[in-house]
A and B are shown apart, each in its own frame.
Chain A
Amino acid sequence: MSKVEGWLRRAWNHDLAWNFRHSPVAILAALLTLVCVGGAVFAPWLAPHNPFDSGALNLSDGFTPPAWTQGGKAMYLLGTDDQGRDLLSAIMYGARISLGVGVAAVLFSMALGVGLGLASGYVGGRLDAFIMRVADIQLSFPAILIALLIDGVARVALPREAHDEIAIYVLILAIGVSGWVQYARTVRGSTLVERNKEYVQAARVIGRSSAAIMLRHVLPNVMGPVLVIATIHIATAIITEATLSFLGVGVPPTQPSLGTLIRVGNDFLLSGEWWITVFPGAALIVLVLSVNLLGDWLRDALNPKLR
């Protein structure tokens, strides 16, 4: 029996895997997520057109309705937008940006929140008080407001010409910073429990540095809840990105995310060209819903009280 086989067998028999196999909702959500993520990640190979190649766009094909309705063309399955961009391709490329921003923002949030939470819980004292008061203050603002604020400041502070190139990074930063609190609080709580356990005291006795104890000993034992929060947070981050883009402060229209597509299409919703906004909207709903369901399942599966 090879090593890989043994590893796979162990994974298959793991609690989590067993739980997954017996939860139809989780399987469905995972499948949908897989389709969305796959479509997004492999968009350059899978998408029928390249919506960012402005030379390939044909204005004469603008406002083509979906293929199955009257006036639709087979080459544009979900129709085209005002510039003749294929909507299916635009959605795939858009989901790529939405997902990319969402995941990057969550990773950023997680790194920030976990770091601060560990320090807060392990060091305690004034540092703990300070970090937790900052967290309290931030919690009194809605996340979207903080993201808007950071985005607005960045826009004023940075030169106009650079906006388009760095818009995505500003967005990641804005969404990331607006979401660190829940990680910090969770990790701090777990750290407070862990720090007095025997293995931590043992490590302290043999003279390991605080940093090493936090990272090598405490961190692995507090990551479980963090992963659950992160999964659910991805969905929130995607929604936040879409909201900012819908408001016109997110991703520029030259590289449309799902939110930007919805905003652009919104202008035509009243005039009968519903597909330009409805399909990106539907794609956003499916993506967020499936990630959310997956996150919910993970939370339940990892919650010892629910076992």
Chain B
Amino acid sequence: MTFTRRFTAAFAVAVAALVITAVPGQAATLRWAAQNDILTLDPHSQNHATTHSLLAHSYEGLVRYTKDFQVEPSLATSWQQISPTQWRFNLRKGVKFHDGSPFTADDVVFSYGRIMQPQGTNQIYVFGVKEVKKIDDYTVDMILSGPNPVLLHQFVNFRIMSKIWSVKNKAENVQDYVAREESFASRNANGTGPYIIKLWEPDKRIVMTANPAWWDKLIGNATDVIYTPIKADATRVSALLAGDVDLVTDLPTQDVTRLRSDPKIKVLDGFENRTIFIGMDQHNPELLYSNVKGKNPFKDVRVRKALNLAVDRDAIKRVTMRGLSQPAAIMIAPSVHGYGSDIDKVAPVDVEGAKKLLAEAGYPNGFEFGLDCPNNRYVNDEEICQALVGMWARAGLKVKLNAQPMASFIAKIQKFDHSTYMLGWGVATFDALFSLQSLLRTKTTGADGSFNLGRVSDPKLDALIDAAKTETDPKKRDDLLRDALVLTRDNYYYVPLHHQMRPWAMKKNVTTVYKADDAPESRYARVD
């Protein structure tokens, strides 16, 4: 009797469990892995794609991208241009931050003031905004210094923080990442967005859960998300194959073919809008980490050209990237506005030519310099750097490679403590100006030159970039962008390597939307 009853009960529980797992549309946990961790939880501190992508789960902007990268309302419901330099935004009513504080115009004004602080690196997302005026609790006016054709695209990554929460927790100031500062906001997140970040254990995991009070609805069913940074390639892929994670958003190139043929795995292909390049210090009077004393060889265009000529981009594509890249001559990827395949023509590798140029520049025996590299950020970053060391060695240059994790790498190069470095630039606004302004405009404390870490400074280039900022005639603007890209290419201010492709892999039962801007969004994810 007891036995039967117990058996029946157990049977009922088992059936119930079966039913629960079988019903589609049920809440699910998405376990997501990628190479690197976020740098901070402070949304205004570091302009770093992984950080932005994860923080976008919690912090929202006034607008956001659709799947097709059209701008759509988010915290602002509508906007109109009162004049070319004045935009009015109507804010969404009834939105609450995760801590319960209400979202109002004060938060927009506060966030603008905060993101503009010089120790952050995200000023570019509000570039051209001179002032944010509160009209009433749910209306703000953006006063611009000039017309800005890409304002809305910029605002996608301008994330709104709660003024009340920031003041209460003394987090009004942006974390100074380079000085290794920590603040309440760099350790805690409080946005209005679809997910509440419950826990961040650096280099271990980020745990998020769906925000029940969100103003919008999740498209998928991933109510819980666990993000795990796994640096080692083989471990990351094994975790996917073993079923320990559901989604991997950066695949080691060597495993793509095999994963494609695996019946349990689905691979989403995609061109990321990211260009990988090498920057060179062109500012210091004496090059760091070098045996050249008293001068800086990279100030000489012939040396920069030699570095460019010695790189065998096809070999990197074929061997290191296994076809998953497009060799680059210009600093933006094909999906970015301003790109032209006619100007993105890569010169063939020419080691002899490079040697000749170096000799002409006064370095017949080459010289020494350092190469700083991340080892957990871009696809095959360290391997590419190792290959570059070899390619440059053939031209007589002795390169000392220093590859380290992104978190320490980025702090080092932002202090200009380098002679050359590898960086990749994805374009959040899908417009060339974003790259030109961040990477090539003469450095200031604000958005101009925020990642111009070799401190390139060319008045002609500055004039083109500054003109493009406010040019509203599309044709003229396109010409300005093009001229700036060509000028950069022909002066060899950088060594562009390739536009990176970045397939994602997931278990067969996972569906999500591929994002070319390296900003996966869990609200799209379904786990069945």
Residues of A whose CB lies within 8 Å of any CB of B are: 53-55, 57-60, 62-63, 82-84, 160-161, 253-254, 266-273
> In the assembled complex, how far is the CB of residue A173 from the closest CB belonging to chain B, in whole angstroms?
23
Q: Residues of B contacting A160 with CB < 8 Å?
A: 402, 404
How many residues does chain B have at the interface if contact means C-beta atoms less than 8 Å apart? 29
* A84 partner residues in chain B, CB cutoff 8 A: 319, 390
Chain A residues whose C-beta falls within 8 Å of the C-beta of B199 in the assembled complex: none
Interface of A is mostly: loop
CB-nearest residue of chain A relative to B257? A271
Question: When the two chains form their complex, are residues A270 and B319 in contact, meaning their CB atoms are under 8 A apart?
Answer: no
- Is B255 a contact partner of A54 (Cβ separation < 8 A)? no
Interface centre among A53, A254, A267, A268, by most B CB within 10 Å?
A: A267
Bound Cα distance from A276 to B21, whole angstroms: 43
Nearest neighbor of A273 in chain B, beta-carbon distance:
B254
| Chain B neighbourhood of A268, CB < 8 A | 234, 254
A54 adjacent to B389 (CB under 8 Å): yes
Q: Which residues of B contact A63 (CB under 8 A)?
A: 319
Task: Assess the A269–B312 pair: CB atoms within 8 A.
Answer: no
Task: Give every chain A residue within 8 A of B391 (Cβ-Cβ).
Answer: 59
A82 to B401, CA, bound (A): 17
B258 located at the interface, meaning its Cβ lies under 8 Å from any Cβ of chain A in the complex: yes
Query: Would you call B72 an interface residue if the criterion is a C-beta within 8 Å of the partner chain's C-beta atoms?
Result: no
B238 and A270 within 8 A (CB):
yes
A59 touches B257 (CB 8 A): no
Q: Does B286 contact A (CB under 8 A)?
A: no
Residues of A within 8 A of B389 (CB): 54
Taking the nearest CB of chain A, how far is it from the CB of B46, in angstroms? 21
B320 within 8 A of A: yes
Is the CB–CB distance between A83 and B383 below 8 Å? yes
Inter-subunit contact B390/A267 (CB<8 Å): no
- A-B pairs with beta carbons under 8 A, tally: 63
A271 partner, pick from B258, B316, B319, B402, beta carbons under 8 A: B258
Docked-complex contact A59 and B232, CB < 8 angstroms:
no
With a cutoff of 8 Å between Cβ atoms, the chain B residues found around residue A253 in the complex are 386
Known contacts: A59-B312, A82-B383, A83-B383. The answer to whether A267 contacts B319 by CB under 8 A is: no
Across-interface contacts of B257 in A (CB, < 8 A): 271
Q: Give chain B nearest CB distance to A253 CB in angstroms.
A: 8
Instruction: A59-B315, A83-B383 given; name 20 further pairs at CB < 8 Å.
Output: A54-B393, A55-B393, A57-B390, A59-B316, A59-B387, A59-B391, A60-B312, A60-B318, A60-B319, A63-B319, A83-B386, A160-B404, A161-B402, A266-B234, A267-B233, A268-B254, A270-B234, A271-B252, A271-B258, A272-B258
Q: Mark B194-234, 1 if CB is under 8 A from A, else 0.
A: 00000000000000000000000000000000000000111
Q: B254 touching A271 by the CB < 8 A rule? A: yes
CB proximity to A under 8 Å, residues B448-470: none
Interface-centre pick from B232, B386, B401, B404 (highest chain A CB count, 10 A): B386
Interface membership of chain B positions 293-332, coded 1 if the CB is closer than 8 angstroms to chain A and 0 otherwise: 0000000000000000000100110111000000000000
Is residue B266 within 8 Å, beta carbon to beta carbon, of the partner chain? Answer: no
Contact with A along B375-392 (1 / 0, CB 8 A): 000000001001101110
- Contact assessment for B254 and A59 in the assembled complex, using a CB-CB cutoff below 8 Å: no
| Cross-interface CB contact of A267 among B252, B315, B316, B401, cutoff 8 Å | B252
Q: CA separation between A171 and B390, bound complex, in Å?
A: 27
Contacting A at CB under 8 A, from B385-433, are: 386-387, 389-391, 393-394, 396, 399, 401-402, 404
12 contacts between A and B (CB under 8 A): A53-B393, A55-B394, A58-B390, A82-B320, A83-B383, A83-B386, A160-B404, A161-B402, A267-B233, A267-B254, A271-B255, A273-B254
Residue among A55, A83, A266 making CB contact with B387, cutoff 8 Å: A83
Interface centre among A82, A254, A270 (most CB of B within 10 A): A270
